[in-house]
Amino acid sequence: MAPGHYFWAIFYFACLCSASLANNAKVNFREKEKKILDQILGSGKYDARIRPSGINGTDDKATQVYVNMFLRSISKIDDYKMEYSVQLTFREQWLDERLKFDDIGGRLKYLTLTDPNRVWMPDLFFSNEKEGHFHNIIMPNVYIRIFPYGSVLYSIRISLTLACPMNLKLYPLDRQVCSLRMASYGWTTADLVFLWKEGDPVQVVKNLHLPRFTLEKFLTDYCNSKTITGEYSCLKVDLLFKREFSYYLIQIYIPCCMLVIVSWVSFWLDQGAVPARVSLGVTTLLTMATQTSGINASLPPVSYTKAIDVWTGVCLTFVFGALLEFALVNYASRSG
């Protein structure tokens, strides 16, 4: 065999050995991950029912859970039901020193789980939630990362329909504040405390689009509540929405102005054209009444007067006044 053939044969054999060693290293590395998971979460070694210790491992201090979220979309804001729907990626992070493990010289950054029942979880709930669901296409959109020093990161994508009490006195020139409230259901502040993550706890997608509103700003705050069973930790996000006036200008204000102007056309008709004047006045009056009913049908039956009620009431008065003016003038001319 030629010397060149020997060289290529040795080179090919060396490549095969290197690939085999690399594959074995990968297998061994995954085996080490499995052993670490069995070591920290094995049967009888970890109890997910017991909350982690407080700061610096003190059992008498509350467990601190840091919260942040990413608002992916706001699909609707319903004036009639006074609610809004939002899709978000929700994250919680806390320290559980029972889950510390060897990172194999910095090679193992974190362990990933997809079953939240394997570790202790904060009992957070959304207090103003009406409906909600998880996302399971193609796989459940949830993961848990366990870091070498015992920190746990929980992330999940959820869709929520939340209550949003509205004050419609200035409708449609109003601004509405819709809140997203999160609280502990069973653990009091002596055992569990929710905190906003430092830096930028709430992020909003850049291309957020709402058909009739604009998200002006959002604020994070705390809203701890006291009941007869104790004090519970609570976080909230206030979303300030400004209603877009252009939609209502085209759909309500301009048509109402046109109806009022059309009702004034009867002033320029011939004095003897009584059927035409009556038909024009009655038609514009009924159209204006229908327009008002359509506006009120999309709003809840509140006990106070709204700005739109004042506008439609004035327009309706003008239309009715034009019809009444003709009736009075016609009667006066016949009496004279």
202 in the same domain as 314: no
Amino acid of residue 266: S
Give the tens place of pLDDT for each residue, 225-273: 899 999 999 999 999 999 999 889 999 999 999 999 998 888 787 777 7
Note whether residue 231 is domain-resident.
Answer: yes
219 in the same domain as 252: no
Cross-strand pairs, 95: 151
Cross-strand pairs, 78: 83
194 in the same domain as 177: yes
Note whether residue 182 is domain-resident.
Answer: yes
Note whether residue 306 is domain-resident.
Answer: yes
Tokens 């291309």 correspond to what residue? Answer: 207
The boundaries of the domain holding residue 259 are 247-335
Sign for the CA dihedral angle at 222, 227, 232, 234 comes to negative
**pLDDT value of position 332:** 75
**Last residue in a domain, options 26, 45, 64:** 45
220 in the same domain as 132: yes
Amino acid of residue 156: I
229 in the same domain as 185: yes
Whole-structure pTM over 0.85, yes or no?
no
Note whether residue 304 is domain-resident.
Answer: yes
**pLDDT value of position 130:** 92
**Last residue in a domain, options 243, 274, 305:** 243
| DSSP notation for 240-301 | EEEE-HHHHIIIIIHHHHHHHHHHGGGGGS-TT-HHHHHHHHHHHHHHHHHHHHHHHHTS--
What's the length of the chain? 336
**pLDDT value of position 21:** 42
**Last residue in a domain, options 243, 274, 306:** 243
CATH assignment of the domain containing 278: 1.20.58.390
CA separation for the pair 156, 202 (Å, rounded): 15
273 in the same domain as 185: no
CATH assignment of the domain containing 226: 2.70.170.10
**pLDDT value of position 59:** 65
88 in the same domain as 5: no
Tens of pLDDT, residue by residue, the chain (336 residues): 455 555 455 545 555 545 444 444 444 667 777 787 777 787 778 888 888 887 666 667 899 999 999 999 998 899 999 999 999 999 999 999 888 888 877 778 888 888 888 899 999 999 999 999 999 888 889 999 999 998 999 999 999 999 999 999 999 999 999 999 999 999 999 999 999 999 889 999 988 888 889 999 999 999 998 999 999 999 999 999 999 998 899 999 999 999 999 988 887 877 777 788 888 888 888 999 999 999 888 899 998 999 999 999 999 999 988 888 878 877 777 775
Note whether residue 50 is domain-resident.
Answer: no
**What is the count of structural domains for the chain?**
3
Note whether residue 331 is domain-resident.
Answer: yes
**pLDDT value of position 7:** 47
269 in the same domain as 164: no
Tell which phi-psi region holds residue 20, choosing left (phi > 0), alpha (psi between -120 and 50) or beta: alpha
Note whether residue 136 is domain-resident.
Answer: yes
CA separation for the pair 281, 279 (Å, rounded): 6
220 in the same domain as 136: yes
237 in the same domain as 159: yes
Q: CA torsion, points 299, 302, 304, 306, in degrees to nearest 10? A: 0
Contacts 24+ apart (CB under 8 A), 48-51: 48/117, 48/118, 48/119, 48/120, 48/121, 49/120, 50/120, 51/120, 51/187, 51/191, 51/192
Task: Kindly give the pairing relationship between strand 124-126 and strand 151-163.
Answer: unpaired
Q: What is the helix (H) or strand (E) element at residue 228, kind and residue range?
A: none
150 in the same domain as 113: yes
Note whether residue 192 is domain-resident.
Answer: yes
Q: How far is CA 52 from CA 45, 46, 91, 107, 315, in A?
A: 14, 11, 18, 26, 65
**pLDDT value of position 24:** 46
Q: What is the helix (H) or strand (E) element at residue 108, kind and residue range?
A: none
175 in the same domain as 153: yes
**pLDDT value of position 235:** 95
